[in-house]
């Protein structure tokens, strides 16, 4: 528990203290955000705000994890684990994809970076590599970081996916979650605040799993997770990094996380769901992201259907994703952000309730 706290505190300090340095550096380099011309007109004043701030979140998360393990090494405890390194690797890998997307936007002075196919290809490569490695690295108890069973609050024995099926499902989870966070990152602090709540939940989930872990002779209701305590360290570091970044990203934002941050954070959430065997539970924990993604799917789908049937595309919302609909309806940005944070908190509380009910019921 002390190591988790150390990781969180150090990550928070690095994030709060170093993000302003990133802001200054990016301003000098001219790494400013391009704004969609078809979006809310109130966003045009944000043009030129430094972007790619996700590098601060990623760096702070890694720093917190490294320092925590240095302290563990001094105390004679174990070092980094396969699960922890895989989670961080997934975060960094998708962060690189997002960085390329942001960099192209800046260099070409446009709101579109990587083409959709190129972005999905990057997510595919990172996701497949992660999934393949997650089925390796067996420990002394024959546990691998991930399993080939679909999971809810633990593996569902009746639903086996096989290796190929697992890789496909893992990619879909990673791609869907990273894109969902990317869609949510449209208002100052919205995505970062919600992400901090989700990572807080995974910190607690991983810690509880470590209290009833399947080791050698599985007890009733134990959790077959390879390295839950190390995953808690990563989750606590990510949570604290998001809080530190939010200090500078809150409205009016001095820096945006960009695709660098949103793809990295979404990928890390997906990684936690896969490595903690809580894949379906992620839908509840990330309820806000799910709702915003569904709003975009409904908007696009209905527009295409009505255009085919009537020749004129119609929209369900004033604009998608969902937060922009409320902007155009006249809501203040800060009002939308706080109310969506409340929605995110309720979703996380509901998801944690589902997990804790299982923990108590099998404790």
Q: For residue 12, which of 203, 245, 265, 241 has the smallest C-alpha distance?
A: 241
Contact 188, 251 (CB under 8 A): yes
Mean pLDDT of 291-304: 93
| CA distances from residue 77 to 80, 81, 83 in whole angstroms, order as listed | 10, 12, 17
Query: Per residue in 19-56, pLDDT tens?
Result: 999 999 888 887 766 555 455 545 444 566 888 899 99
Give the per-residue pLDDT at 105.
83
Contact 149, 156 (CB under 8 A): yes
Write the DSSP assignment of 230-260 as a string of letters: HHHHHHHHHHHHHHHHHHHHSSSPSS--HHH
Query: Per residue in 209-243, pLDDT tens?
Result: 999 888 776 677 889 999 999 999 999 999 999 99
Q: Which two tokens stand for residue 120?
A: 């999905």
Provide the pLDDT confidence category of residue 7 given band limits of 50, 70 and 90: very high
Q: Which of 55-59, 108-112, 343-347 has the lowest mean pLDDT?
A: 108-112
d(Cα 171, Cα 163) in Å, to the nearest integer? 12
- 33 CA to centre of own chain: 21
Q: Which two tokens stand for residue 267?
A: 């990928």
pLDDT at 58 over 90: yes
Query: Per residue in 85-120, pLDDT tens?
Result: 999 999 999 999 999 999 888 887 666 678 888 999
Q: Which of 168-172, 273-277, 299-303 has the lowest mean pLDDT?
A: 299-303
Provide the pLDDT confidence category of residue 1 given band limits of 50, 70 and 90: confident
pTM of the model: 0.92
């Amino acid at each position: 528990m002390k190591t988790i706290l150390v990781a969180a505190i150090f990550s928070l300090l690095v994030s709060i203290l170093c993000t302003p340095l990133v802001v200054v550096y990016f301003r000098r380099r001219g790494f400013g955000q391009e704004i969609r011309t078809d979006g809310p007109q109130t966003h045009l004043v944000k043009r030129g705000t430094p972007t790619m701030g996700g590098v601060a979140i990623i760096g702070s998360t890694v720093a917190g994890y490294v320092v925590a393990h240095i302290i563990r090494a001094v105390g004679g405890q174990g070092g980094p684990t396969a699960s922890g390194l895989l989670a961080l690797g997934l975060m960094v890998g998708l962060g690189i994809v997002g960085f390329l997307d942001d960099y192209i936007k800046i260099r070409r002075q446009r709101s579109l970076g990587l083409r959709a196919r190129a972005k999905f290809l990057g997510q595919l490569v990172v996701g497949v590599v992660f999934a393949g490695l997650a089925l390796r690295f067996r420990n002394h108890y024959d546990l691998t970081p991930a399993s080939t069973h679909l999971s809810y609050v633990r593996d569902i024995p009746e639903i086996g996916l096989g290796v190929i099926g697992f890789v496909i499902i893992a990619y879909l989870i990673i791609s869907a979650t990273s894109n969902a966070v990317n869609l949510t990152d449209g208002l100052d602090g919205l995505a970062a605040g919600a992400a901090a709540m989700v990572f807080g939940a995974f910190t607690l989930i991983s810690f509880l799993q470590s209290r009833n872990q399947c080791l050698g002779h599985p007890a009733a209701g134990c959790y077959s997770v390879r390295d839950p305590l190390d995953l808690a360290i990563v989750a606590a570091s990510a949570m604290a990094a998001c809080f530190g970044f939010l200090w500078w990203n809150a409205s009016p934002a001095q820096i945006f996380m960009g695709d660098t941050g949103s793809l990295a954070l979404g990928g890390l959430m997906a990684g936690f769901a896969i490595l903690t065997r809580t894949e379906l539970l992620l839908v509840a924990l990330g309820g806000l992201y799910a709702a915003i993604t569904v709003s975009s799917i409904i908007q696009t789908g209905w527009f295409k259907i009505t255009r085919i049937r009537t020749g004129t595309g119609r929209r369900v919302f004033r604009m998608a994703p969902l937060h922009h609909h409320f902007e155009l309806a006249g809501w203040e940005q800060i009002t939308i952000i706080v109310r969506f944070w409340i929605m995110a908190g309720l979703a996380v509380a509901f998801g944690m309730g589902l997990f804790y009910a299982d923990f108590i019921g099998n404790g």
